[in-house]
Amino acid sequence: MTEPIDLNQIGQRAKAAARILARATTEQKNAALYAIADGLDANAERILAANRQDLEEGRANGLTDALLDRLSLQNRLAGIAKDVRQVARLPDPVGETFDETVRPNGLRVSKRRTPLGVLGIIYEARPNVTVDVAALALKTSNAAILRGGSETLRSNTALVSVIREALASCGLPADSIQFIESTDRRYVGELLRLHQYVDMIIPRGGQSLHQFCRENSTIPVITGGIGICHLFVDQSADLDAAIEVIHNAKTQRPSVCNALDTLLVHEAVAAGFIPRVIERLGASGVTFRLDPHAWAVTPNPSGDTRLAPAGPDDFDTEWLSLILGIKVVSGLDEAIEHIYRHSTAHSDGILTRDEANAARFVDEIDSAAVFVNASTRFNDGGEFGLGAEIAVSTQKLHARGPMGLRELTTYKWVVYGENHVRA
């Protein structure tokens, strides 16, 4: 029988580690990051062997291709190590002073960027998150307690072992990164109530996980990573270019949260454009769910096995696979209304050459990232110049969009006086 895990002890160790990290220099943190990257390279076979076991078990348990893709580290570990080195090269936000003012009485007032403290990260079938979290937390002097999905237990255990060894080799506390090495779901509930030690909870997974965290946590929660993403093809769009943007948004990596789920097409171009979309994306294995208007303008839809009429929930589905919903709309008003009703406020865009329509779309679509003539796949910390991201937040308080280094900090007021007293 597995020994029970004492989360209070884990929390105490994380809090103690965070205090040490808070005074670590940028040079110390960067040395540890390079050591982590080198450790990933040196232990690649051990990590990949553990990952292959997870993949084999996942297939046996009937995991979908999308989940298996998220779970796999095969042919990706070198890139993950490269990302860690990239984080080491990024500027360290901790200690940055900003908004400096001198008050009329001579007091010097400023804000200084500080770590959040201890992060609790709950995530599912993506072991790369383990390394992303460790790198970003370390760079921002935050400790982290990780609880990964049961399907990635072996992979995460191997990764965290390498990370902790690297931290210890550089003189930083190994307990800066801790992993709840259990598949027992009760530890998720316990972590959510560890408010005396944990400062922020970041869940990465499906809607049920996010809802559970919001409803049960006594710690502030940042949610995101669920994307029902849209592109609207305006009647003025460059249709040749639009085809390639749509293809990229849907097929470049369909199992992730910023992949395209629903294509909205202006009725003025639908008859000529939708068959072209089906031909181009269908050649890459995409299947389609068509609303009645899109079905009507598609030649011989009943004879094409790639096509099906859209069901009642299809426009509220994050596909995470090579499925695309297509709906014909009367114009910008209907496109905005559809996105308002069905989007998860992650990544939504317009393809247009009409500057007024682009400006209105940007003004009215209140998503974490809004795109004009660009693929939704760009909603990513690396693509936005942040380095690796810890999550994509779709809420509005503290952080929104890809959460990189600055988003993992807060600030404190610093006041310098010369023995000032208040009148």
Question: Does the residue 385 lie in any domain?
Answer: no
For residue 158, give both structure tokens.
């191997």
What CATH number should be reported for the domain holding residue 19?
A: 3.40.605.10
**Beta-carbon count within 10 A of 253 CB:** 12
* Percent of all residues in the chain with a pLDDT value above 70, rounded to a whole number: 99
One domain, residues 240 and 359: yes
One domain, residues 119 and 242: no
Rounded to 5 degrees, φ, ψ at 228 are -100, 100
Instruction: Calculate ∠ Cα 156-160-163, nearest 5°.
Output: 145
Residue 417: per-residue pLDDT? 97
One domain, residues 211 and 252: no
Mean pLDDT of 14-38: 98
Residue 93: per-residue pLDDT? 96
Question: Does the residue 383 lie in any domain?
Answer: no
CB burial of residue 36 (10 Å; 0-12, 13-18, 19+): buried
Question: Does the residue 391 lie in any domain?
Answer: no
One domain, residues 44 and 145: yes
One domain, residues 164 and 244: no
**Residue 224 C-alpha from the chain's centroid:** 7
One domain, residues 203 and 260: no
One domain, residues 66 and 82: yes
**For 128-137, how does the pLDDT look when each residue is reduced to its tens digit (9 = 90+)?**
999 999 999 9
Mean pLDDT of 17-26: 97
Helix (H) / strand (E) containing 270: helix 267-282
Question: Which are the contacts of 210, defined by CB distance < 8 A and separation ≥ 6?
Answer: 203, 223, 226
Q: Are residues 184 and 356 in contact, defined by beta-carbon separation less than 8 angstroms? A: no
Question: Does the residue 1 lie in any domain?
Answer: no
One domain, residues 215 and 331: no
Which of 180, 112, 113, 114 lies closest to 144 in space, CA to CA? 180
Residue 332: per-residue pLDDT? 98
SS3 309: strand
SS3 169: helix
**For 354-403, how does the pLDDT look when each residue is reduced to its tens digit (9 = 90+)?**
999 999 999 999 999 999 999 999 998 888 888 767 888 888 888 888 88
Rounded to 5 degrees, φ, ψ at 129 are -60, -35
- Number of domain units in the chain: 2
Question: Does the residue 397 lie in any domain?
Answer: no
One domain, residues 361 and 261: yes
**For 181-195, how does the pLDDT look when each residue is reduced to its tens digit (9 = 90+)?**
998 999 999 999 999
How many Cα neighbours within 13 Å face the side chain of 140? 31
Distance (Å, whole) CA 381 – CA 208: 24
One domain, residues 97 and 202: yes
One domain, residues 288 and 322: yes
One domain, residues 156 and 246: no
Question: Does the residue 202 lie in any domain?
Answer: yes
Rounded to 5 degrees, φ, ψ at 249 are -65, -30
Which of 255, 257, 256, 274 lies closest to 265 in space, CA to CA? 274
Mean pLDDT of 316-333: 96
Which of 273, 227, 276, 279 lies closest to 253 in space, CA to CA? 227
Residue 1: per-residue pLDDT? 46
Distance (Å, whole) CA 181 – CA 160: 10
Between residues 225 and 32, which one has the greater pLDDT?
32
Instruction: Calculate ∠ Cα 145-147-148, nearest 5°.
Output: 135
Residue 2: per-residue pLDDT? 65
Between residues 72 and 256, which one has the greater pLDDT?
72
The residue segments making up the domain with residue 348 are 229-378
Q: Are residues 236 and 352 in contact, defined by beta-carbon separation less than 8 angstroms? A: yes
Question: Does the residue 72 lie in any domain?
Answer: yes
Band of pLDDT at residue 125, cut at 50, 70 and 90: confident
What CATH number should be reported for the domain holding residue 277?
A: 3.40.309.10
**For 227-257, how does the pLDDT look when each residue is reduced to its tens digit (9 = 90+)?**
899 999 999 999 999 999 999 999 999 988 8
For residue 161, what are the CA distances in angstroms to 21, 53, 172, 179? 19, 17, 14, 9
Which of 155, 153, 145 lies closest to 188 in space, CA to CA? 145
Q: Are residues 286 and 347 in contact, defined by beta-carbon separation less than 8 angstroms? A: no
**Residue 336 C-alpha from the chain's centroid:** 24
Question: Does the residue 66 lie in any domain?
Answer: yes
DSSP strand pairing (409-416 vs 108-115): antiparallel
